[in-house]
Amino acid sequence: MAPPLEIFWIRPWRVRCPALAARMVGLAASLPGDDPLHAVGEMHVAPRLRTTTGWRDVAHRALAWTGAADVKVEGRPTKTIPPWDHHGEAVTFCLDVGPGGQRAAPAHIRRGAAEATLEHLPPRATWIWSDGSAEGGVSQGGGGATITFPSGETREVRVPAGQLCSSTRAELCALKAALNAIRDADADIADDPIVICTDSQAALRMLESGASSQTTHLGISIWEDLLAFSSRGSPIRLQWVPAHCGLRENERADELAKEASGLPQEAAATDVRTLTKAVARCASHRWRQEWPSSFFKDIMRDRMPAPLNNLDRDAAVNVHQLRAGHWGRSEVGARRFESSAEQRLMMELRDLDHYQSYEVWVAAVTQAGRGAPSRALLYRPNTNIAARIASFSRLVLAEQARPLLVQCLAVGWPAARPVWSADRPLAQLGAAVRENGSLFISEVSRYGPRRGEQR
């Protein structure tokens, strides 16, 4: 059986075709009603052949998969904000709160870093805390915000963001609703600063690209509000804050957003990009569920393989061949690696007993101390499940038949030399690993019956 396209990170027509058809229908629906092309996406054209399906029918069927066959499409922007027609110095962005705001930091550290940053902002200001929510990041969007005016008055805002909605769009809908509430309020906020706090870096980066760079109605509308407030003398600060770290206002905005996701979504529009991504995601899920039975499906289940972003062409070709099960013998691979500028270690594990399972740990460390043990792999030579070898966070699939080839990258100098150790765990060899920079194959455990025993 030929290897499936997914092992090469190539999506077939069963994914691309529905996504492209939905995009065409969405683009037609986003045009003004008096545009002749607006009716193109809605008209019904009888197919000329019984074996073909028109792109409109493909799109409507794909939209039905997502449960949004009658979704309202956001109109295409008919105007943009010129780059010279705004006061960029009055609208500032800050997308960090210092080293303590990193995602890996504990919640109390992130909260302390955020509070330290917020202390330096003007105390007399209109404060907006906004947040968005989307089920699975793709549907049932909702936005919520809390507003505190300089007088101490507070308001809460809830707004639906669309049946098909990304988390970023839900965040933008929450911000837009909060700006509308300030504009419609009777409070006197002239000359008072406006501080907007949100935990979405994606939304802030989109707005930070500038007023003239916005390509959606929502982005343009938000910038129009920001420029209108700044032209009245109110400096505006958009500040990122870490999420779910105990900031009271942020937690309240998150609660409001989740409540808003349960509001009726019929009136909320969806932009074409979100519509296309939703269809592509649904089509990809349906396609993965129908993968044929193969060694690839046994390993990956319904997941796509990791992309090979950091490998050179020679290494990427070998990984794709290993994934497809058509990799050559180790001697061919060794000759292929000789021309590479990077040093590579290759080691064959022969004499693997049939009906035995081996748990192998791989590590390659130089005198400089770089490198780290890889994740464990389980090799079963008697099954159709290929081995999974992770080295330096890179996934390599070994060929099923013996010998099993272990490939690692040698970093630094001198080059590591292969060493076989079958009786001592890697932890006991820590000093030797740090000193001589050797490659160790250790922790060989037998899980099946020994040779001559019944299975």
CATH label of the domain that carries residue 113: 3.30.420.10
- How confident is the model at residue 133, as a pLDDT? 93
> Are residues 257 and 115 located together in one domain of the fold?
yes
> Are residues 146 and 69 located together in one domain of the fold?
no
| Mean pLDDT, rounded, for 319-328 | 61
- How confident is the model at residue 323, as a pLDDT? 62
- Stronger pLDDT, 369 or 134, i.e. the higher one: 134
Q: Which one of 197-201, 289-293, 442-446 scores highest in mean pLDDT?
A: 197-201
How many whole angstroms separate alpha carbon 270 and alpha carbon 165?
Answer: 7
Confidence check: pLDDT of 418 > 50: no
> Are residues 221 and 247 located together in one domain of the fold?
yes
| Mean pLDDT, rounded, for 186-214 | 88
How many whole angstroms separate alpha carbon 441 and alpha carbon 122?
Answer: 60
> Are residues 283 and 392 located together in one domain of the fold?
no
How many whole angstroms separate alpha carbon 207 and alpha carbon 221?
Answer: 11
Of 6, 20, 29, give the one whose Cα is nearest residue 62: 20
Domain count within the chain:
3
> Are residues 262 and 132 located together in one domain of the fold?
yes
Of 321, 344, 352, give the one whose Cα is nearest residue 415: 344
| Residues whose CB is less than 8 angstroms from the CB of residue 8 and which lie 6 or more positions away in sequence, other chains included | 320, 323, 324
Residue keyed to tokens 């290759």: 346
Of 435, 430, 423, 417, give the one whose Cα is nearest residue 346: 417
Confidence bin at 321 (pLDDT 50/70/90): low
For 44, counting Cβ atoms within 10 Å of its Cβ (0-12 exposed, 13-18 middle, 19+ buried), the class is: exposed
Q: Which one of 1-15, 76-90, 234-248, 394-408 scores highest in mean pLDDT?
A: 234-248
Mean pLDDT over each residue of the chain, to the nearest integer: 72
Structural domain boundaries enclosing 43:
5-73+273-289
> Are residues 349 and 281 located together in one domain of the fold?
no
Confidence check: pLDDT of 429 > 90: no
Confidence bin at 288 (pLDDT 50/70/90): confident
* Helices of type H across 189-329: 201-208, 217-231, 248-260, 272-289, 295-300, 313-324
R_g of the chain computed on alpha carbons: 29
Around 405, how many Cα atoms within 13 Å sit in the side-chain half-sphere?
A: 21
- Stronger pLDDT, 219 or 393, i.e. the higher one: 219
> Are residues 125 and 228 located together in one domain of the fold?
yes
Which letter does DSSP use for residue 120 in this model?
T
Portion of the chain with pLDDT greater than 90, in percent:
34
Distances (CA, A) of 7 to 322, 328, 378, 386: 10, 17, 20, 14
| Mean pLDDT, rounded, for 379-401 | 33
Confidence check: pLDDT of 104 > 90: no
DSSP 378-414: EE-TTSSPPPEEEETTEEEEPPSSSSEEEEEEE-SSS
Confidence check: pLDDT of 194 > 60: yes
Q: Hey, what are 43's tokens?
A: 């008209």
- How confident is the model at residue 369, as a pLDDT? 33
Confidence bin at 446 (pLDDT 50/70/90): very low
Confidence check: pLDDT of 26 > 90: yes
Confidence bin at 404 (pLDDT 50/70/90): very low
Q: Quick check: is 139 in a domain?
A: yes
- What type of residue sits at position 230? S
- How confident is the model at residue 83, as a pLDDT? 78
Q: Quick check: is 449 in a domain?
A: no
Q: Quick check: is 254 in a domain?
A: yes
Confidence check: pLDDT of 282 > 60: yes
| Mean pLDDT, rounded, for 374-392 | 34
Confidence bin at 77 (pLDDT 50/70/90): confident
| Mean pLDDT, rounded, for 401-406 | 39
> Are residues 115 and 68 located together in one domain of the fold?
no
> Are residues 280 and 390 located together in one domain of the fold?
no
- How confident is the model at residue 151, as a pLDDT? 87
> Are residues 183 and 47 located together in one domain of the fold?
no
Confidence check: pLDDT of 423 > 90: no
The pLDDT tens digits of the residues spanning 155-175 come to 999 999 999 999 999 999 999
> Are residues 257 and 171 located together in one domain of the fold?
yes
> Are residues 130 and 258 located together in one domain of the fold?
yes
For 71, counting Cβ atoms within 10 Å of its Cβ (0-12 exposed, 13-18 middle, 19+ buried), the class is: buried
The answer to whether the beta carbons of residues 259 and 147 sit under 8 Å apart is no
Q: How far apart are the first and last CA of the chain?
A: 29
For 316, counting Cβ atoms within 10 Å of its Cβ (0-12 exposed, 13-18 middle, 19+ buried), the class is: middle
Residue 302 zone, left/alpha/beta (φ > 0; ψ -120 to 50; rest)? alpha
